[in-house]
Structure 1
Amino acid sequence: MTDTKQPYVSDNCETYTDLEDSHEKIKNPELASILKKVNRSRNYRKPPIDNKQLDIFEPPPLTDISTKDEISLMDIAVFGLGRKPRFEPIEYNLKDAHIMVQGGTNCGMATIFDYDIFLYMISYLTNEMNRIKKEIKKGNDDYLPPRSIKPSVAELLNYCRRDHGGENYKLLEKSLERLSTTKISITKVNSKNRRNGMFSLIGDYNITTQKETGRISDITISIPEWVYDGIVRIENPTVLTLNPDYFLLDKGTHRFLHRLARKAAGKTEATYSLEKIYERSGTTRVFRRWKSDIKSTIAALKENPLPEYSISWETNLEAVEKKDLYP
């Protein structure tokens, strides 16, 4: 029999009421100030226990829910851009922070395609909190999301817009290993938006396989505290919506460019210097050779553009320097 009580290491909150009331116990004054601003009705009722159990074991289907991404990580590559795992670390010396990304010794760093699972986790949490806040506006209290997710393999593959072939089941297990062992270390210099400290993209995970086929039947993924608190404890989480066609982009560089465009351009436009893109891509290639490839990559987008964005090559260097939107 599984215990339905969910302890939360960071605050011991179970319901939204507990969360708001806990602001007095929070040592972080910034979080406390944000929680005090949450406006809602005080006419609560406790939801039935069964409701909480359903949330834990039967996560809602996400294929029709917009994909969310962590905005503070969208202007850099915290993963390798190829399909094969990368073993050398990535180091960024930016104006606002020093960032180091390292993968596991045996399995390497997570790839941008592995990152799809992280997007699923972010989207699931955001969807759950949106649902809870709707209940709060109705005057009903509700339990906070659990600190782990248990998606069906079919649902996860559907969400990432992948087929159900046997190869994708094998790739899924490797992806989870790389995501859990990839460590991101951020030391802020002069930033209000960056996170600070060391963290992994996902927490512990557990896989159950079928004896007959050897295929994965069940997955449980622990949500890292920095992800959970960043969505559950903040009134307006720093997440952005990605077009679902993002998952169909077959080249890691195209996905990387789409993320850059989504964060800086939004619904307008943005201009980047080639040196900045090179710096933020985390590549170890010689700049001259990389430049030739990125030109070909951008040229390929004329016939098949990125979802929602048009990428063009700007030769006016003076204009690029004036308009560059990187910090």
Structure 2
Amino acid sequence: MSSLNKQRVQAEARPGESWDEATARVLGTSINKAVPEEGELADFFVSADGISTKDSRHFMDVALFRMSKQQSRAGEVIRYDLADGYVEVKGGPDGMASIWDYDIVLMLISYLTESMNLYKKGRGVKPSRFFTPHVSDILKFCQSGDGGNQSKRIESVLDRLKGTTIKSVLHRPSRSSKGVTREVKSESLISGYRVLSETIRGRIDRVEIEVPSWIYRQVIDSHGAAVLTVNQDYFLIDSAIARFIYRLARRAAGNSSAKWGFKTIYGRSGLASFKGFCSILRRLIRSDDLPEYHLYEEAGLSGPQLIMARRSAEPACG
């Protein structure tokens, strides 16, 4: 296949299509090829307009990343104690992934969900764990612009995502006895990546990212229950805490409202200073410009409470 035809197939392929299916539709050639050509992928994702942003419901109330742009937190561990166990986030040698780096994980979840939906409708093959976007697709999805510096930093972002591991330890009642079983899982935010092509100027053009099995299993096996749609304006939120509060509100409040204590939220944020956290949170409450949700403060027996209410819903009663 000529280079021009390959570029055309890549540009016009749809989410969830295999290389053969995209080639047959775009070029009108046979799809009965037993083995794909070298460099071609049997299953891949491509740029497409209109894909809604999705996030993993399971971890939307815990920060799986650092909240600071300045501190790399390389080799550091953040631990969150939960009712049935705990979660540890550990930064690799390149630094812990930030909440802004996590935008690429949102993209993986979003495209994987879209591809799975198309597969269920009979409009594509079952998606694999390999995601092959152009860097321009990543920057467009994350609303990061398309400047040279933005393109160069993608490799560093992928290094941090690969090096950041999530360890969850859960204690569950044993089915065979009256005791408790200890379930331990540890995976990275992405399982790996490789650069597939570069531009003439040496900038990364296209990458292949391997989706971690914990994300893949959630999307493939959950029938849609494990993901939630995220407002597109999320990417325009500059404050890390504001992003974290939006994700919490999206999961906890949904289409209604929810109430969480300041101390509980702080304990899930990975931040060092409770006083600083409260100061920033109260500024967010005063500005009241979070996408989709109003924020209110209310006094409680255990300390200040944050009420997160969908803008079409009334705040929770005290």
TM range (shorter): 0.7 to 0.9
Q: Specify the alignment match of 2:68 in structure 1.
A: 82
Is the Cα contact below 8 Å between 2:44 and 2:130 reproduced in 1?
Answer: no
Q: Specify the alignment match of 1:258 in structure 2.
A: 246
CA deviation after TM superposition for structure 1 residue 182, in Å:
0.3
* Structure 2 CA distance for partners of 1:157 and 1:71, relative to 1, 3 Å: same
TM-score for the superposition, normalised by structure 1: 0.73
* Counterpart residue identity of residue 312, structure 1: Y
Q: Specify the alignment match of 1:278 in structure 2.
A: 266
- Per-residue deviation, residues 149-195 of structure 1 (Å, max 9, x unmatched): 1101111111111100112112211110000110010011359xxx9
* Counterpart residue identity of residue 315, structure 1: A
- Separation in structure 2 between the aligned mates of residue 279 and residue 260 of structure 1, nearest angstrom: 13
Is the Cα contact below 8 Å between 2:73 and 2:96 reproduced in 1?
Answer: yes
CA deviation after TM superposition for structure 1 residue 64, in Å:
1.2
Unaligned segments of structure 1, at least 5 residues: 2-46, 137-141
SS class of match (1:312): strand
CA RMSD of aligned residues (A): 3.1
Moved over 6 A (4+): 52-55, 318-321
Q: Specify the alignment match of 2:50 in structure 1.
A: 64
Task: Find 1:112's aligned residue among 99, 121, 134.
Answer: 99
- Name which of structure 1's ranges 259-268 and 201-210 shifts more when overlaid on structure 2: 201-210
Task: Find 1:102's aligned residue among 83, 87, 90.
Answer: 90
Is the Cα contact below 8 Å between 2:231 and 2:291 reproduced in 1?
Answer: yes
- Separation in structure 1 between the aligned mates of residue 294 and residue 56 of structure 2, nearest angstrom: 22
- Counterpart check, 1:171 vs 2:153: yes
- Per-residue deviation, residues 98-118 of structure 1 (Å, max 9, x unmatched): 11100112x111000000100
Quote the sequence identity (%).
36
CA deviation after TM superposition for structure 1 residue 237, in Å:
4.1
TM-score for the superposition, normalised by structure 2: 0.75
- Separation in structure 1 between the aligned mates of residue 193 and residue 156 of structure 2, nearest angstrom: 12
Task: Find 2:298's aligned residue among 292, 309, 314.
Answer: 314
* Counterpart residue identity of residue 76, structure 1: V
* Counterpart residue identity of residue 200, structure 1: S
CA deviation after TM superposition for structure 1 residue 146, in Å:
2.1
CA deviation after TM superposition for structure 1 residue 296, in Å:
2.4
- Counterpart check, 1:291 vs 2:278: yes
* Structure having the larger proportion of residues in strand: 2
Report which structure shows greater RCO (CA 8 Å, sep ≥6).
1
- Separation in structure 2 between the aligned mates of residue 273 and residue 236 of structure 1, nearest angstrom: 29
Unaligned segments of structure 2, at least 5 residues: 2-29, 174-182, 309-315
Count residues in correspondence.
267
* Structure having the larger proportion of residues in helix: 1
